[in-house]
Structure 1
Amino acid sequence: MRALSLSLRCVLSLTCAGLLASAAQAADNKVLNLYSARHYQTDEALYANFTKQTGIRIQRVDADDAGILARLKSEGTSSPADVVLLVDASRLWRAEVDGLFQGIRSPVLEAKVPAQLRGKDSGQGSPWFGFSTRARMVIYNKQMVSKSDVDTYEKLANPKLQGKLCTRSGSHPYNLSLFGAMTERLGAPATENWLKGLVANMARTPKGGDTDQIKATASGECGVALVNSYYLARMLRSNKSEDRDAVEKIGYLMPDQSGAGTHMNIAGGAVARYAQNRDAAVKFLEYLASDSAQAYFADGNNEWPVVKTVKITNPALDSFGAFKTETTPASVIGMNQVKVQQMLDRVGYK
């Protein structure tokens, strides 16, 4: 009778396909709808392993962070999303503020994911959890710049580096997160003055991605640049001769080892606000905190796992050595992004 009733409704409704799909999914409950900003080939094995362990099939929609947030907003209560994966603290915070996630309580996640790598618990549980981290590193051309002149983020604004600094767009989430962390460390006035110094030291108008910054620094177009660690690790592990030649020409370091520590950005996940498969979604997030999944992040995509007991066997990550990391909560860094964007506009950081 239910099937007949649903069929009659479909005759009268423009959403027939959606109703039938929802009914089939509810009957099965073995499908998880994933919206992912992670575009890494190694993640295919990550997802396949989850299906093998649980029997839950993953249906994935891929887009960048901004595209996923826009889609969730436009879909509203009709969104099929169960889990959302994003690759930046500022985007996770924005989705939290916009009410696109639902808080969850999970003893597994709360035991494994450090408190500073979770969203703010407002009484309903954490709205998101970080599962891997990346360092915002400094690289430099060894023939043009001395290591001691670039071993802190603040030194990048020193006039002696005029005409030597390269970055991607200041408004890119990776930089927004770093600048949000600096705002928390220095205060807004000092951070804005620091950003002015960065603009004054630019070798070129900000452009390209982090791999482009590495190559431009190796070629001598730039003397120093900011990059996320997993881009550099990827080149360190590459068999391509041009990649090997590039990394031989640069030095790299984790900034602020005598101060607040190196800024760490995160990739994280959440249960979508209108998830129809909530239990499966929580199970998937708990799986991402398992030792096997955390090993995929480290060995497959050159990210540091958030679960500290997981053994890392990635030689590129090992080559970075032990280093001091910042302790500012990712949610606090995200909260600063609006203020940071206003500062970038005032100082002319493109």
Structure 2
Amino acid sequence: MNLRLAVSALALAATAAPALAEEVNIYSYRQPELIQPLTDAFTEATGIKVNVAFLEKGMVERLQAEGSRSPADLIFTVDISRLAAAVDAGLTQPVDSEMLRANVPDAYHDPGGHWWGLTTRARIVYASKDRVDPSEVTTYEDLADPKWQGRICTRSGTHEYTVALVSAVIHHHGEEAAKAWLEGVKANLARKPQGNDRAQVKAIWSGECDISLGNTYYMGKMLEDAEQAEWANSVNVLFPTFEGAGTHVNISGVAMTKSAPNKDNALKMMEFLTSKEAQEIYAAANYEYPIAPGSEPVELVQGWGAFTADDVNLMTIASHSAAALRLVEEVDFDG
């Protein structure tokens, strides 16, 4: 009798217990407001709940500490260096999907499938409307020309955005030429490297310098702010290229963690993120460029002008990161 009662109790408990929810867990360096529209759209389309942990820093260290017990299925981040760091630390797994390969150009995903790009941003020149003729800025190489002496502002040489650009210079011209380029740009600085990309535009507006390096999306962000809109309206967005190549771009991207507990749901979300619908939602949230075939940036971004992106695979660029950082330190760029 006791055995029958115990079995009946277990059966009753099993039927009373709620079914485990379909879910996917994300560690994200991207701000919650940027990805909330995406997660809401994914849940509405699939019924799969999305749990997001926003991290300001330390994602690699957290995943390493959690090991195989990590709840994270996907990581969201910006900049190829951060994606490459997760791969190099052995924290991701390769993903092969016909949909991903169809939606993401070869230049914007890891050849081994460990990360996949979602949106791009160009590393461009902001130039004073009053003091710079747009025809004066055509190439990145030109930024080392003495004609710009005392006229350039930029953020720290050790920042990941600068390191990525220097890595691209190394790819196109080699380390020796990249070092000479860095020395030339440093000689043209109007002030010690400091602040973020918006701070450089403010410096142009205030007359401290005439041109600066920055990411395209900051123009959209500045125009949202009443005070910063005045800075933004004082500059033109110019798209320099490498000699014989295109404009340097970087990405936001996604990777599946090595220990993903909800692997099937994670793949569904990765595929959703590269769809035309999701791409345009994501790109619009941060004034970026979607990369799925047939997708378009918002009207404001289109208004900045068309450009041809450099087509080198970003993992190739990332392979030069250590050398780029070494060169930045050798020339004492921030000194």
TM-score normalised by length of structure 2: 0.90
Note the C-alpha offset of 1:319.
Answer: 0.8
Q: Which residue of 1 aligns with 2:289?
A: 304
Q: Which residue of 1 aligns with 2:333?
A: 349
Q: After TM superposition, list the pairs within 5 Å mapping 1:47-58 onto structure 2.
A: 47-58=39-50
Q: Which residue of 2 aligns with 1:337?
A: 321
Q: Which residue of 2 aligns with 1:211?
A: 198
Give the secondary-structure state (helix, strand or coil) at the position aligned to 2:33. coil
Q: Which residue of 1 aligns with 2:134?
A: 147
Give the secondary-structure state (helix, strand or coil) at the position aligned to 1:130. strand
Unaligned runs of 5+ in 1: 1-23
CA shift in 2, pair 1:96/1:75, >3 Å: same
Note the C-alpha offset of 1:196.
Answer: 0.9
CA shift in 2, pair 1:239/1:206, >3 Å: closer
> Is the contact between residue 78 and residue 253 of structure 2 (CA under 8 Å) also seen in structure 1?
yes
Unaligned runs of 5+ in 2: 1-16
**1:327 aligned onto 2:276:** no
Q: Write the deviation string for residues 103-158 of structure 1: whole angstroms up to 9, x where unpaired.
A: 0111110111111111131xxxx011001000001011233333333321111111
Please say which structure displays the higher CA radius of gyration: 2
Which residue of the other structure, out of 214, 222, 234, is the alignment partner of 2:209? 222
CA shift in 2, pair 1:298/1:217, >3 Å: same
2: CA distance, partners of 1:73 / 1:169: 28
Give the secondary-structure state (helix, strand or coil) at the position aligned to 1:212. helix
Which residue of the other structure, out of 229, 232, 249, is the alignment partner of 1:244? 229
2: CA distance, partners of 1:304 / 1:102: 26
Q: After TM superposition, list the pairs within 5 Å mapping 1:21-32 onto structure 2.
A: 28=20, 30-32=22-24
Which residue of the other structure, out of 44, 69, 78, is the alignment partner of 1:87? 78
Note the C-alpha offset of 1:292.
Answer: 1.5
Q: Write the deviation string for residues 27-62 of structure 1: whole angstroms up to 9, x where unpaired.
A: 625121100011152421111111111121121111
Q: Which residue of 1 aligns with 2:8?
A: none
Q: Write the deviation string for residues 194-221 of structure 1: whole angstroms up to 9, x where unpaired.
A: 0111111121221111111111111111
CA shift in 2, pair 1:189/1:239, >3 Å: closer
Q: Write the deviation string for residues 61-119 of structure 1: whole angstroms up to 9, x where unpaired.
A: 1124x521221122222221100011001111121111110001111101111111111
Q: Which residue of 2 aligns with 1:75?
A: 66
Q: After TM superposition, list the pairs within 5 Å mapping 1:181-196 onto structure 2.
A: 181-196=168-183
Give the secondary-structure state (helix, strand or coil) at the position aligned to 1:41. helix
2: CA distance, partners of 1:216 / 1:40: 29
1: CA distance, partners of 2:251 / 2:258: 21
2: CA distance, partners of 1:339 / 1:77: 32
**1:278 aligned onto 2:263:** yes
**1:171 aligned onto 2:165:** no
2: CA distance, partners of 1:272 / 1:246: 40
RMSD (CA atoms): 2.0
> Is the contact between residue 42 and residue 296 of structure 1 (CA under 8 Å) also seen in structure 2?
no
1: CA distance, partners of 2:20 / 2:277: 27
1: CA distance, partners of 2:205 / 2:161: 21
**1:133 aligned onto 2:125:** no
**1:316 aligned onto 2:300:** yes
* Identity across the alignment (%): 38
- State the one-letter code of the partner of 1:226: L
Q: How many residues align?
A: 319
Q: Which residue of 1 aligns with 2:5?
A: none
TM-score normalised by length of structure 1: 0.86
> Is the contact between residue 290 and residue 296 of structure 2 (CA under 8 Å) also seen in structure 1?
no
The farther-off stretch of 254-263 and 82-91 is 254-263
2: CA distance, partners of 1:72 / 1:171: 24
Q: Which residue of 2 aligns with 1:260?
A: 245
The farther-off stretch of 32-41 and 127-136 is 32-41
Q: Which residue of 2 aligns with 1:293?
A: 278
> Is the contact between residue 150 and residue 190 of structure 2 (CA under 8 Å) also seen in structure 1?
yes
2: CA distance, partners of 1:346 / 1:163: 21
Note the C-alpha offset of 1:250.
Answer: 1.4
Note the C-alpha offset of 1:179.
Answer: 1.2
- State the one-letter code of the partner of 1:322: A
